[in-house]
Structure 1
């Protein structure tokens, strides 16, 4: 794993709290490293250390990661030379796997140091659990990404404080992903009660609260097919968030930041004169533009402005297009056939049977060249309700399963609700389809397909039939990424990639 020698003495520390508050700190790059002996002497210093734990997320939740999780699935593809989009990844050329491995272990290292030093900080003991719990939840997020992307990975929670510890950690073998998840679940269950029992939007600076810990418990438990643990965690979220109907669908658009339905978002910002922390995600979801104008595929879209320079856009699959009833309002959010009543050129092609563009849920008003300041949505309440529907169905609680699935369907349109329980397998298939309708673009579709054990089959039956490159290249082992060769060498051969041989 990538561990820089100037970091191991202690955690990366952000600048002290200023007028902009914690959110500004999360947007700024820290410029110093402080050892634990000179730090962790006040709550504000502990918070500053925690802010450093968030920083790798801005580099993880970016355009390439979106492609790997949403545009290599049954829902969409990207006609691009990008390795991940073409399934041309290997241990020698791991595509985004290289950055994900390094950045996640960087985040793990920051969280390990923060958790350890907060436990030993010279602050009142009653203030420590919530602070340590924030580091624990962030560490679980990094391991959730790692195990979902690579399956079995090295697992450690000790701070790297000296060369001896560094040498030991670099030689840790891959740990069974199920065991890693079980360990994380136990730790999250321990700290979740100490975190704020509130919606993220009600927590200052949208910091991690208990629902984020419960969401991670549920995600990890679903991977392990521990449906009772998932259901219990989702019920805790329901106590805090209430009825889904109170949260408008428009709040799910990426431009609408930190709305009450949100459980966790990666914070981005852009302004003409101020601080810039941007992604390129919107550039992969925006229709092509006529240079120097606000005309996108023949339609004037003033809100997008004249400065955007979109990439070749992610293309929805025929399967994705087939999922939406014509009355489903999410159809026009996810799939852009028109704008303000005017049809784009591409959907009108081929005698009106052309493909739509990806919709306004992902667009960024005022995008500057390829940079957008939208937040990236990672977890929100509708996801939790659909997870509970899936878990309840597996546990035989059909009434709860139907209630949850219809809560999501009903928010879109009451006429979309299921009248009767269709059977266990049929219900699961409907949950899979509903997760696609509701959550497309929220960094989870590939992982859903993999945990259901259907990734290779579903992609082969959908996008591979539309995009020859996928048909030619996809293999069953592509459900997980290979550990980069350089990490295998650094471990002295302890890390291996047997599936990629």
Structure 2
């Protein structure tokens, strides 16, 4: 069963909004019992506070809609909208005040504010049991490191603090180097690993485990090209035995049963839940679901099916509804033409059919879609009210990170083991890698991560860390309404510090008056 983080109350702490919540197994309504002065007096209240931080990641500017996806999936070589929308981001027309990520910046700093505040209230708190202090501190350290991971990915140097600061002092902070921030977060994640449990069950599914902390730490090391440290963290996760690669690639993404949306490959997900107040449901699925106004191909043409005549769209929609499905999405995230063509995948790659859909119920579609991320179910996954979890980390990613790090350290010899574990289920018969040089292995990994992890929020950052974003965007085929190749510049590997933040705090320009090259 999923963790149902239900909104129960709002608490104002030290000048910022703290969203707190209650899991379904906490039956009593604590709204009238909790005040800022009385908070953190027992284990339950500490849990409620941490639940509230998880809730912050449900915001539209982060994981609920296309907040992070705007900058992690758009503007690369895999996906874009099926019409002329979101062009400022995908076409690299970003500037201060235009698609500069201000909402995402604000929400991530809410996480930083709350986690830092709560850590100070939990550490050394004699009202809490040792087990509660350990687990809650571990979760908060992980969640803060996740926020700083996104902040440094998107903006590089950003304001940084890990101790409570008065609001006025926080409001004039300049930018700290990305290297310093990431070094501190790696230390925090090592501490989180020691504090966190290795597994959860029942309503606690969705909480951060020690393996989530190790995976995020591996990400930090990989992005900093600390190959030995990245490899070591990956091995910790792989050898820990808490997670396994599923036998069937399609099963990894099967969340059709709302009561059974976890599997052993998931390391950390943002847990969404339909039919509750607040932002507990996700609308991200709508970006991947088709619009019936677009489908099927030649939708307004007349046709005859089983002796019934009518427009193709009416007959097609009738077939969908016969199996309690419909196409009620936005079509904001569909495969780019080259990625949608099976001929551009390796022969025999079983991941293609699990990833791409170009026809449905025997009808050709006007656009290709990501089968792995759509859900047409009109009983359990309605428009604007979807329960699908956002998969942040899964084990296949860890294997591929280990392969990449091992190749950079020692060449492909031992690295084959890791990549071929992922490819075993991708091909029938198996098509393992062998006989590659170090450079050939590195370049082959560019495509392997592309096909294994498409539409999962990794691609653009991969292209940036490999130093090939510009050349990739300039050579891939886009649709007629998009032309990022004409606009992309070297500085687009980062966002500008948002204009609203600069107006509030001019000190953000002290260390870099160019604002990441946008001035």
Once the two structures are TM-superposed, the CA of residue 336 in structure 1 deviates from its matched residue by: 0.5
Once the two structures are TM-superposed, the CA of residue 138 in structure 1 deviates from its matched residue by: 0.3
Q: Tell me the alpha carbon deviations over residues 36-76 of structure 1, each in whole angstroms, 9 at most, x when there is no partner.
A: x4111211111111011112211111224324321321112
Task: Pick one of 369, 372, 397 that aligns with 1:357.
Answer: 369
Gaps of 5+ in 2: 1-9, 297-311
2:245·2:264 contact (CA, 8 Å) conserved in 1? no
Q: How many angstroms apart in 2 are the aligned matches of 1:404 and 1:179?
A: 31
Q: How many angstroms apart in 2 are the aligned matches of 1:220 and 1:117?
A: 27
Q: How many angstroms apart in 1 are the aligned matches of 2:22 and 2:369?
A: 44
Q: How many angstroms apart in 2 are the aligned matches of 1:457 and 1:292?
A: 33
Q: Does 1:75 align with 2:95?
A: no
Once the two structures are TM-superposed, the CA of residue 312 in structure 1 deviates from its matched residue by: 4.8
Match of 2:358 in 1: 337
Task: Pick one of 322, 325, 338 that aligns with 2:346.
Answer: 325
> Alpha carbons of 1:473 and 1:278: their partners in 2 closer, same or farther (altered >3 Å)?
farther
Q: How many angstroms apart in 1 are the aligned matches of 2:219 and 2:357?
A: 30
Match of 1:390 in 2: 404
Task: Pick one of 482, 485, 497 that aligns with 2:496.
Answer: 482
Q: Per the alignment, in what secondary structure is the counterpart of residue 233 of structure 1?
A: helix
Task: Pick one of 437, 442, 448 that aligns with 1:434.
Answer: 448
In terms of fraction of residues, the more helix-rich structure is 1
In terms of fraction of residues, the more strand-rich structure is 2
Once the two structures are TM-superposed, the CA of residue 280 in structure 1 deviates from its matched residue by: 2.5
Q: After superposition, where does 1:56-95 map in structure 2 within 5 Å? A: 56-59=56-59, 60-61=62-63, 62-78=65-81, 79-82=83-86, 83-95=88-100
Match of 2:429 in 1: 415
Q: Tell me the alpha carbon deviations over residues 137-163 of structure 1, each in whole angstroms, 9 at most, x when there is no partner.
A: 000000001111111111111224xxx
Q: Per the alignment, in what secondary structure is the counterpart of residue 14 of structure 1?
A: strand
- Tell me which moved more, 303-312 or 231-240: 303-312
Task: Pick one of 291, 302, 308 that aligns with 2:328.
Answer: 308
Q: Per the alignment, in what secondary structure is the counterpart of residue 58 of structure 2?
A: helix
> Alpha carbons of 1:204 and 1:108: their partners in 2 closer, same or farther (altered >3 Å)?
same
Q: Per the alignment, in what secondary structure is the counterpart of residue 221 of structure 2?
A: helix
Q: How many angstroms apart in 1 are the aligned matches of 2:284 and 2:16?
A: 33
2:502·2:508 contact (CA, 8 Å) conserved in 1? yes
Q: How many angstroms apart in 1 are the aligned matches of 2:67 and 2:313?
A: 26
Q: Tell me the alpha carbon deviations over residues 162-183 of structure 1, each in whole angstroms, 9 at most, x when there is no partner.
A: xxx2122222221111221111
Q: Per the alignment, in what secondary structure is the counterpart of residue 500 of structure 1?
A: coil
1:456·1:475 contact (CA, 8 Å) conserved in 2? yes
TM-score w.r.t. length of structure 2 = 0.83
Once the two structures are TM-superposed, the CA of residue 6 in structure 1 deviates from its matched residue by: 4.5
Q: Per the alignment, in what secondary structure is the counterpart of residue 109 of structure 2?
A: helix
Q: Does 1:450 align with 2:454?
A: no
Q: How many angstroms apart in 2 are the aligned matches of 1:455 and 1:297?
A: 43
Q: How many angstroms apart in 2 are the aligned matches of 1:373 and 1:489?
A: 38
> Alpha carbons of 1:492 and 1:33: their partners in 2 closer, same or farther (altered >3 Å)?
farther
Q: Per the alignment, in what secondary structure is the counterpart of residue 58 of structure 1?
A: coil
Match of 2:43 in 1: 43
> Alpha carbons of 1:31 and 1:427: their partners in 2 closer, same or farther (altered >3 Å)?
farther
Match of 2:438 in 1: 424
Once the two structures are TM-superposed, the CA of residue 486 in structure 1 deviates from its matched residue by: 1.3
Q: Per the alignment, in what secondary structure is the counterpart of residue 374 of structure 2?
A: coil
Match of 2:305 in 1: none
Q: Per the alignment, in what secondary structure is the counterpart of residue 391 of structure 2?
A: strand
- Tell me which moved more, 7-16 or 419-428: 7-16
Q: Per the alignment, in what secondary structure is the counterpart of residue 429 of structure 2?
A: helix
Corresponding residue pairs, total: 476
2:21·2:52 contact (CA, 8 Å) conserved in 1? no
Q: After superposition, where does 1:253-332 map in structure 2 within 5 Å? A: 253=253, 255=255, 257-271=261-275, 277-289=280-292, 298=316, 300-302=319-321, 305-306=325-326, 308-319=328-339, 321=341, 322-332=343-353
Match of 2:302 in 1: none
Q: How many angstroms apart in 2 are the aligned matches of 1:452 and 1:292?
A: 37
Match of 2:518 in 1: 500
> Alpha carbons of 1:460 and 1:102: their partners in 2 closer, same or farther (altered >3 Å)?
same
Q: Tell me the alpha carbon deviations over residues 169-199 of structure 1, each in whole angstroms, 9 at most, x when there is no partner.
A: 222221111221111011211220221123x
Structure 1 vs Structure 2 CA RMSD: 3.3
> Alpha carbons of 1:41 and 1:433: their partners in 2 closer, same or farther (altered >3 Å)?
same
- Tell me which moved more, 420-429 or 325-334: 325-334
Q: Tell me the alpha carbon deviations over residues 224-263 of structure 1, each in whole angstroms, 9 at most, x when there is no partner.
A: 1111111111111112336844453233226352222111
Match of 1:102 in 2: 106
1:463·1:470 contact (CA, 8 Å) conserved in 2? no
Q: How many angstroms apart in 1 are the aligned matches of 2:251 and 2:409?
A: 32
Q: Per the alignment, in what secondary structure is the counterpart of residue 269 of structure 2?
A: strand
1:230·1:388 contact (CA, 8 Å) conserved in 2? yes
- Tell me which moved more, 489-498 or 475-484: 489-498
2:84·2:482 contact (CA, 8 Å) conserved in 1? no
1:10·1:113 contact (CA, 8 Å) conserved in 2? no
Once the two structures are TM-superposed, the CA of residue 282 in structure 1 deviates from its matched residue by: 2.2
Match of 2:55 in 1: 55
Match of 1:404 in 2: 418
Q: How many angstroms apart in 2 are the aligned matches of 1:125 and 1:384?
A: 31
- Tell me which moved more, 99-108 or 189-198: 189-198
Match of 2:196 in 1: 195
Q: How many angstroms apart in 1 are the aligned matches of 2:506 and 2:248?
A: 52
2:72·2:457 contact (CA, 8 Å) conserved in 1? yes
2:270·2:392 contact (CA, 8 Å) conserved in 1? yes
1:215·1:234 contact (CA, 8 Å) conserved in 2? yes
> Alpha carbons of 1:8 and 1:377: their partners in 2 closer, same or farther (altered >3 Å)?
same
2:243·2:266 contact (CA, 8 Å) conserved in 1? no
